[in-house]
Chains A and B, each alone.
Chain A
């Protein structure tokens, strides 16, 4: 049986860990909110760019109809095609913000629940089981192979070096399922 002083120390550690988790939860909430309006403004710029591109395409078509305008029409057409491709890249890459917010949202919920478990003094088999359930639920909510791989490496002993390399590797390799379209 733990002495009163050991039990007190354990409770102090639990409280400190609970505060750490709570701090992480609120910092994540702040980070997710802070970028919202900037990203929305960026989305607005992409939207306006799309409208301007439509106007430009209409003007380019008119140039093609002018006498002697063939060369200019060809050059302008190449430019608008390149702009369209760049615009499509903006639309595609903006969506990674949505994925990041979802990922951080799941992490925030997970930490909030973990902090709740830490408030139970003493710890024991039931708390361990609750944490196992939270871990399993968190893994189910992860969105990409890279996210799941990081999760798995954390729980596998002796894989720290590989774990440290995973985020950089994931940044270089696109998620296999990205952009998949399946019809039923």
Chain B
């Protein structure tokens, strides 16, 4: 089963994303900001990254940009999961190299469908 890296500074959000992905059998790694996620992604290969935007140390948009610089993550799906729904932020995310934009609160079934779609 695919390995997914879930990045969020909120413990409650990490739990909810983890619960949803694990219920579908995915192997889930967690990071609480972009910096930690980047380090984790460098040391162990992941098939998908789901990241929040507003986080301390390194935000989600910067994380996406940094991951796209790495050869290993050039084609890896990177989903942004955020409370931000403004078109400006979405454009920023797209320009950074994100695969998709999911607005919180997510519906578990729909998130799993999106995950399956980007992993297929």
> Which residues of A are at the interface with B, using a C-beta cutoff of 8 A?
36, 39-40, 42-44, 46-47, 50, 53-54, 88, 91-99, 101-102, 143-144, 175, 177-184
Known: A88-B108, A92-B107; 15 extra A-B contacts, CB below 8 A, are A40-B11, A43-B19, A46-B15, A46-B16, A94-B15, A95-B12, A95-B105, A98-B13, A143-B85, A144-B85, A178-B104, A179-B103, A179-B105, A181-B103, A184-B94
Number of A-B contacts (CB under 8 A): 100
- B-side contacts of A95, CB under 8 Å: 12-13, 16, 104-106
- A-side contacts of B83, CB under 8 Å: 98-99, 102, 143
- Also in contact, A184 and B15, with CB within 8 A (given A88-B109, A102-B83): no
Q: Is the interface of B mostly helix, strand, loop or mixed?
A: helix
Q: Complex Cα distance A94/B11, Å?
A: 11
- Also in contact, A50 and B19, with CB within 8 A (given A39-B12, A97-B12): yes
Nearest A-chain residue to B105, judged by Cβ: A95
19 contacts between A and B (CB under 8 A): A43-B11, A43-B12, A43-B16, A46-B19, A91-B20, A92-B106, A94-B12, A96-B105, A98-B12, A102-B54, A177-B85, A177-B103, A178-B104, A180-B103, A181-B114, A183-B117, A184-B93, A184-B100, A184-B101
A183 & B100 in contact (Cβ 8 Å cutoff) = yes
- A-side contacts of B3, CB under 8 Å: none
Q: Please give the number of chain B residues whose Cβ is less than 8 angstroms from any Cβ of chain A in the complex.
A: 35
B22 & A182 in contact (Cβ 8 Å cutoff) = no
- A-side contacts of B90, CB under 8 Å: 182
B41-75: which residues lie under 8 A (CB-CB) from chain A?
54
A91 & B108 in contact (Cβ 8 Å cutoff) = yes
Q: Complex Cα distance A53/B94, Å?
A: 37
Taken residue by residue from 1 to 45, chain B's Cβ proximity to chain A (1 for < 8 Å, 0 otherwise) reads as 000000000111101101110110000000000000000000000
